[in-house]
Amino acid sequence: MRQFVADLHVHSVLSPCAAVEMTPRSIVWHAAKHGIDIVAITDHNACDNVVAVFEAAKGTNVVILPGMEVETEEEVHMIVLFEKMRQFKV
């Protein structure tokens, strides 16, 4: 059975808590460099950089999952992951 290394909670520059270096290309480069197979892009209440990270991952072995860190009315943060982009439309 193959094992995978995944980071399912990655913010891009769109999240206020992310470093300015967290560009789509940088996210993919660091994942590949450190042997991370799967990365979920989970910006705070935003999805605008997911497509850009998908594009940056083309030609690499890094699999990108669309996601979002959603804040509820009760100020609870939940990581929501989607299997396909068509499920992700907001």
C-alpha to C-alpha distances, 4 to 1, 8, 38, 60, 64, nearest whole angstrom: 10, 12, 7, 15, 13
Q: For position 82, what pLDDT does the model report?
A: 87
pTM, to two decimals = 0.87
Q: For position 88, what pLDDT does the model report?
A: 60
Domains and CATH numbers, the chain: 6-87 (3.20.20.140)
Write the pLDDT tens digit of every residue in 49-60.
Answer: 999 999 999 999
